[in-house]
């Protein structure tokens, strides 16, 4: 874990104070208000500059470095329990992922989050396994006693890798702490399980530079089949969500005659309806298909499973 002095932090805090501290008591600020603040154009313009400044400070490639489109805000009130001790790799973040943490209010050793001492980690190489198997009060106390409070100075951020163990067991102070955090990582990090659709590229330009997730599918048919384990409303939601994120060209929709099996699907997969010129059939999940669908398949028609995000 290290501290970085970042000029843009001052602008972020000034905007926060302008929107909240001058207008209402710190104790009355809600998390939903913070998320609304975090999606405003005024905030996002500064946030993008913040991510860019950190990327440059860390000497990361602008072409490969990505960061969360919107950060996570936290309102940590007195006596509130926060997150248990963990590392971000356990939550699916990749080996090349770093978390940036920025307090928006004054902090003290009792309301900030804590980082485990490296010496304790080395002595207890299986500490993450212990946390996953049996996280109890005794273990938390032991980790707490071998941790230190993270205390960035004015206009500093705390940044740490996905392997480092940290947590916010409890706010033992009389002060509410408001902060936000976000991840920066590399877009080719194969150790990550996170969806890139919630990240964007660093850019020195004013316009936000979204990651191009376009999948080459050609003319795509949305196929819905009722009477299955996934309700049709859920099928629509899954397909529409993935199609939107991956810029898939849905040009048609078909609901199945479910009481007759899957006649429409067989017609499409065997390419009997050539005049409709679909390149891909997009389904919510392989579980809605008949078991023998492969025996009817024409290789010129491809099937895309939206839930698994893969071609069958």
- 146-157 tens-digit pLDDT: 999 999 998 999
β-bridge mates for residue 252, sequence order: 221
Contacts of 8 (CB under 8 A, 6+ apart): 46, 49, 50, 53
Report pLDDT for 105.
93
pLDDT at residue number 108: 96
Q: What is the full DSSP assignment across 138-181?
A: HHHHHHHHTEEE----TTEEEEEETTS-EE-----SSS-EEEEE
Three-state DSSP state, 213 = coil
Check residue 48 and give its pLDDT: 94
Q: What is the pLDDT of residue 46?
A: 95
For residue 213, is pLDDT > 60?
no
How much of the chain, in percent, has pLDDT values that exceed 90? 60
Return the closest-CA partner of residue 169 out of 149, 189, 155: 149
pLDDT of residue 23: 60
Length of the chain as a residue count = 312
Q: What token pair was written down for 142? A: 């032991």
Sequence-separated (6 or more) residues with CB below 8 Å from residue 204: 52, 62
- Could you give the CA distance from residue 151 to residue 173 in angstroms, rounded to a whole number? 15
* DSSP category for residue 18: I
Q: Which two tokens stand for residue 248?
A: 């898939």
Q: How do beta strands 280-283 and 220-224 pair?
A: parallel
pLDDT attached to residue 27: 79
Classify 255 as helix, strand or coil: strand
Statement: residue 14 has pLDDT above 80: yes
Average pLDDT (159-181) is: 94
Domain ranges of the chain: 2-210, 220-311
Share of the chain above pLDDT 70, in %: 94
- What's the CATH class of domain 2-210? mainly beta
**Average pLDDT of span 293-303:** 77
Give burial (CB, 10 Å; 0-12/13-18/19+) of 179.
buried
Listed in sequence order, the residues at least 6 apart from 143 whose beta carbon sits closer than 8 Å to its beta carbon are 85, 116, 120, 127, 131, 165, 167
Binned at pLDDT 50, 70 and 90, residue 208 comes out as: low
Q: Is the pTM of this model over 0.85?
A: no
Taking all residues of the chain, what is their mean pLDDT, rounded to a whole number? 89
* Domain 220-311, CATH homologous superfamily name and number: Resolvase, N-terminal catalytic domain (3.40.50.1390)
Averaged over 212-236, what is the pLDDT?
A: 85
**Phi, psi dihedrals of residue 157, rounded to the nearest 5°:** -120, 155
The 8-class DSSP code of residue 17 comes to I
Q: Is the pLDDT of residue 205 over 80?
A: no
């Amino acid at each position: 874990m290290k501290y970085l002095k970042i000029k843009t932090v001052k602008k972020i805090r000034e905007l926060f104070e302008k929107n909240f501290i001058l207008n209402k008591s710190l104790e009355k600020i809600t998390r939903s208000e913070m998320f609304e603040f975090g999606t405003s154009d005024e905030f996002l313009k500064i946030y993008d500059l913040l991510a860019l400044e950190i990327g440059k400070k860390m000497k990361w490639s602008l072409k490969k470095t990505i960061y969360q489109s919107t950060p996570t805000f936290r309102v940590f009130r007195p006596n509130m329990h926060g997150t248990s001790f963990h590392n971000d790799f356990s939550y699916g973040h990749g080996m090349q992922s770093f978390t940036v943490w920025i307090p928006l209010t004054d902090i003290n050793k009792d309301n900030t989050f804590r980082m485990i001492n490296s010496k304790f980690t080395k002595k207890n190489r299986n500490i993450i396994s212990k946390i996953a198997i049996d996280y109890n009060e005794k273990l938390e106390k032991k980790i707490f006693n071998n941790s230190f409070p993270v205390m960035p100075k004015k206009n500093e951020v705390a940044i740490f890798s996905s392997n480092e163990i940290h947590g916010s067991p409890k706010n033992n102070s009389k002060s509410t702490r408001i902060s936000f955090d976000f991840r920066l990582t590399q877009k080719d990090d194969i150790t990550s399980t996170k969806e890139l659709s919630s990240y964007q590229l660093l850019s020195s330009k004013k316009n936000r530079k979204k990651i191009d997730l376009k999948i080459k599918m050609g003319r795509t048919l949305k196929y819905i089949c009722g009477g299955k384990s996934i309700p049709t409303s859920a099928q629509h939601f899954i397909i529409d969500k993935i199609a939107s994120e991956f810029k898939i060209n849905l040009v048609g929709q078909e609901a199945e005659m479910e009481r007759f099996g899957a006649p429409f699907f067989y017609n499409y997969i065997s390419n009997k309806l050539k005049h409709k010129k679909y390149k891909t059939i997009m389904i919510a999940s392989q579980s809605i298909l008949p078991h023998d669908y492969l025996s009817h398949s024409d290789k010129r028609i491809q099937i895309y499973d939206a839930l698994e995000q893969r071609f069958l």
